[in-house]
Amino acid sequence: MSIRRLSVLIPALVAMFAVGLSVRAEGRPVEIGKPAPGFTLTSADGKTISLKDYKGKIVVLEWTCPTCPFVVRHHKRLKTTQKLSQTFKDKGVVWLAIDSSKTASAEVAAEHAKENKISYPILIDRDGKVGKLYDAKTTPHMFVINRQGNLAYAGAMDDDPRGNNPERQNYVEAAVKSLLDGSTVAQTRVQSYGCSVKYAK
């Protein structure tokens, strides 16, 4: 094979290999006990928020979408996130919502927050980069990060996907309480439920 032919072939092979690596990396679940991926996003009210700003704090990430009936149930009927976020805010826990859907809108998110009295930030991730970093599958899909910046819990909000069990177990609440107490999180990964995240690509 000629040198000229090799000079064309080698870059092509390198590019194919790089693409293959990126494809294999996509969708890989964030590992429990490993550092949570960093990110910087703009909130619905125009503020720039970075995960690194909350170093040393417990952080709850809530994947959300204002039109998803599962999200509406937790925000409007049960007020799950409003109650938990307020309770834990007094203990220094940070709660952030992220909308990674391709139709994510700051205006719609701000209106949803106002209508449902949501006081924590809703971050806009329209290109889905942060959602894919965390392999967020559904709305809601919950992640809890410990004070060391490592993932401590990933999965469902609770054990009540149909929303009709008054004695539902809230996995997020349990995980945060364990971290606050300095004890081990019992349930670290539970299959999430809800609407699928509608990524742009």
Instruction: For the chain, give the DSSP string.
Output: --HHHHHHHHHHHHHHHHHHHHHHHTTPPPPTTSBPPP-EEEETTS-EEEGGGGTTS-EEEEE--TT-HHHHIIIIIS-HHHHHHHHHHTTT-EEEEEE-STT--HHHHHHHHHHTT--S-EEE-TT-HHHHHHT--EESEEEEE-TTSBEEEEE-SBS-TTS--TT--BHHHHHHHHHHHT---S--EE---SEEP----
pLDDT the model gives residue 89: 95
Instruction: Output the pLDDT for position 28.
Output: 61
Q: What is the pLDDT of residue 30?
A: 86
The mean pLDDT value for 3-30 works out to: 39
pLDDT in tens, 153-184: 999 999 999 998 989 999 999 999 999 999 99
How many angstroms separate the most distant Cα atoms in the chain?
73
**Which residues lie below 8 Å from residue 70, measured CB to CB, with a gap of 6+?**
138, 139, 140, 161, 163, 193, 194, 195
Predicted TM-score of the model (pTM): 0.86
How confident is residue 3, by pLDDT bands cut at 50, 70 and 90? very low
Instruction: Tell me which residue of 170, 59, 163 sits closest to 120, measured CA to CA.
Output: 59
Residue 138 has pLDDT above 60, yes or no: yes
- What does the alpha-carbon distance between residue 157 and residue 29 come to, in Å, rounded to a whole number? 17
Q: How confident is the model at residue 10 (pLDDT cuts 50, 70, 90)?
A: very low
What pLDDT digit, counting tens, does each position of 75-130 carry? Answer: 999 999 999 999 999 999 999 999 999 999 999 999 999 999 999 999 999 999 99
Nearest to 139 by CA among 103, 102, 98: 98
Rg (CA), the chain: 19
User: Is 109 within 8 Å of 124 (Cβ atoms)?
Assistant: yes
The alpha carbon of 130 is separated from its chain's Cα centroid by a whole number of angstroms, namely 8
- CATH code of domain 30-196: 3.40.30.10
pLDDT of 25: 35
